[in-house]
Amino acid sequence: MLGKNKNYGKVSGIYQQLANNYRSRNQFDAASHFFIGDMETKRKALLNGDAANRLRSINYSFFKYLSLYGQSAVLPLFVWTPVFIIVFTLLRSIFGICSIHPDLGCNFESKLIDSIAALLQSPRSSPNNDFDIIERITSLPLIGLGLRNALKTIFGVFG
């Protein structure tokens, strides 16, 4: 992976060594910065490689923008969760999906509440509403990643 340009491998090794040294001294915040540097080095090495490696770099880019390589609780919880809610609310509006009976008032606010409820794993619909099931399944990794990163930041758990 890092073979095309030997400098990427050396830089990555230095970042890993620094991150391990700081972790061994329980300085997790500093170790986090070096871990991010290591991941960035790997991503850039893949980007400068052949076509197969450039495709593999997409995973690193996705992981970077989703949660800063697992080091940020803010991105999944306070950036991507609201985006997720807005997108699913708009999809509910476009396709006319409402979790309650339309006679009870199925406006944009009601669809927003439906989306938030499904994200929090307590939908207001019957169990056979496929859209709520899809929304609940896709929200689990997002919430899990955010909570994992928050616990990691606050308590230093999960290595």
* Cα–Cα distance, 138 to 85 (Å, whole number): 11
How far is 56 from 118, CA to CA, in rounded Å? Answer: 32
Give how far Cα 26 sits from Cα of 18, 29, 47, 87, 99, Å: 12, 9, 33, 40, 48
Share of residues in the chain with pLDDT > 70 (%): 86
Per DSSP, the chain holds a count of helices (H) and strands (E) of 7, 0
Q: Work out the average pLDDT over 105-131.
A: 80
Mean pLDDT over 7-20 rounds to 92
pLDDT of residue 43: 93
- Beta-carbon count within 10 A of 69 CB: 19
Query: What residue ranges do the domains of the chain occupy?
Result: 6-69, 75-146
- Check residue 157 and give its pLDDT: 58
Residue 25 banded pLDDT, cuts 50, 70, 90: very high
> What is the crossing angle of helices 81-95 and 130-155, to 10°?
170
Give dist(CA 25, CA 96) in Å, integer: 55
Q: What is the pLDDT of residues 27-65, one digit of tens each?
A: 888 888 999 999 999 999 999 888 999 999 998 998 899
Instruction: Measure the CA–CA gap between 36 and 19, rounded to whole angstroms.
Output: 9
User: pTM of the full predicted structure?
Assistant: 0.71
Q: Which of 60, 65, 6 is nearest to 38 (CA)?
A: 60
